């Protein structure tokens, strides 16, 4: 799955801090550097990376693209953050199938930041469906 460093950095920052503000990548990296010093940071990132791999498999979509967009990555990071905080540790949905089957690109008309709450809500519902 093709992931850019910018995409992964922004999603990791959302996972560790809850911040999804659009700022320059230099600011994202500076904030991420500080966030990585949290005691749970590496465990959370390790769990999130495994979750991303389970939810976004390598298979190509019907359009022939396997590109992962920013909103699904941020949404998955924010939902994982919420679940990790609730449990006090890294947790996974019992099954990733509901999240995997979600049509991430068809949820919203564009990938503008204003649609992030819609994508987050869909991800939360799918996570609960897996339980």
What percent of the chain stands above pLDDT 90? 63
Tens-digit pLDDT profile for residues 104-124: 888 888 888 899 999 999 999
Both tokens assigned to 116: 């992030």
CA distance 46 to 37: 14
CA distance 110 to 59: 22
SS3 36: coil
Enter the pTM of the model: 0.89
Whether the predicted pLDDT of 39 surpasses 70:
yes
User: What is the gyration radius of the CA atoms in the chain, in angstroms?
Assistant: 14
Average of per-residue pLDDT values in the chain: 89
Read off the pLDDT of each residue in 56-64 and give the average, rounded to a whole number: 60
CB 130 within 8 A of CB 86: no
Q: For residue 127, name the pLDDT band (cuts at 50, 70, 90).
A: very high
CA distance 48 to 9: 12
On the 0-12 / 13-18 / 19+ scale of CB atoms within 10 A, 123 is buried
Count other C-beta atoms under 10 Å from residue 130's C-beta: 15
Q: How many CA atoms lie within 13 A of 9 on its CB side?
A: 17
CA distance 42 to 36: 7
């Amino acid at each position: 799955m093709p992931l850019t460093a910018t995409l992964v950095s922004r999603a990791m920052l959302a996972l560790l801090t809850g911040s999804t503000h659009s700022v320059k990548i230099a600011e994202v990296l500076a904030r991420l550097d500080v966030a990585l010093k949290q005691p749970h940071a590496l465990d959370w990132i390790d769990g999130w990376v495994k979750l991303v791999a389970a939810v976004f498999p390598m298979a190509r979509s019907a359009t022939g693209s396997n590109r992962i967009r920013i909103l699904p990555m941020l949404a998955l990071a924010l939902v994982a953050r919420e679940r990790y905080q609730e449990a006090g540790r890294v947790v996974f949905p019992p099954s990733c199938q509901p999240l995997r089957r979600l049509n991430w690109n068809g949820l919203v008309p564009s990938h503008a930041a204003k649609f992030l709450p819609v994508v987050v809500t869909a991800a939360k519902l799918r996570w609960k469906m897996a339980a």
